[in-house]
């Protein structure tokens, strides 16, 4: 019965900028808006689909402020609607269709 998901990664390794954790996709599948770290790939995906609020992962006050904004009723409704739209685009069925199309183009 969660209302939101926290996808907060500490940028303690160079590969974090290239990481998209499963937790993000699980949140989308569950219909949950996210508070996410402002690291490259994660931030880009959250912004592209408008899935929630970004925060500085090493700043507890910024994480708390992001959670407060996300749970504001007006913003929460907005992000829930955006997550629903993203569910139609970010799912295995859509990815499978793209992958099959790519295989046909390559072969």
- 79 has a pLDDT exceeding 90: yes
> For the chain, how big is the Rg over CA atoms in Å?
15
Average pLDDT of the chain, as a whole number: 94
For the chain, what is the domain count? 1
Would you say 27 and 46 are in contact if contact means Cβ atoms under 8 Å apart? Answer: no
Domain of 30, in residue numbers? 5-106
Would you say 67 and 35 are in contact if contact means Cβ atoms under 8 Å apart? Answer: yes
Can you give the pLDDT at residue 41?
Answer: 93
Q: Please classify residue 104 by burial: count the beta carbons closer than 10 Å to its beta carbon, then call 0-12 exposed, 13-18 middle and 19+ buried.
A: exposed
Report the distance separating Cα 59 and Cα 103, nearest Å. 44
What's the whole-model pTM score?
Answer: 0.86
Give the tens place of pLDDT for each residue, 1-45: 899 999 999 888 878 878 899 999 999 999 999 999 999 999 999
Q: Show Cβ contacts of residue 16 under 8 Å, excluding neighbours closer than 6 positions.
A: 9, 10, 39
- 54 has a pLDDT exceeding 90: yes
């Amino acid at each position: 019965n969660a209302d939101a998901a926290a996808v907060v990664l500490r940028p303690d390794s160079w590969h974090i900028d290239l990481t998209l954790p499963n937790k993000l996709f699980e949140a989308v599948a569950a219909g949950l808006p996210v508070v996410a770290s402002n690291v490259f790939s994660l931030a880009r995906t959250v912004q592209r689909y408008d899935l929630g609020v970004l925060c500085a992962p090493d700043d507890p006050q910024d994480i708390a402020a992001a959670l407060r904004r996300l749970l504001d009723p007006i913003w929460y409704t907005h992000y829930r609607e955006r997550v629903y739209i993203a569910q139609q685009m970010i799912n295995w069925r859509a990815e499978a269709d793209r992958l099959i199309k790519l295989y046909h183009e390559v072969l």
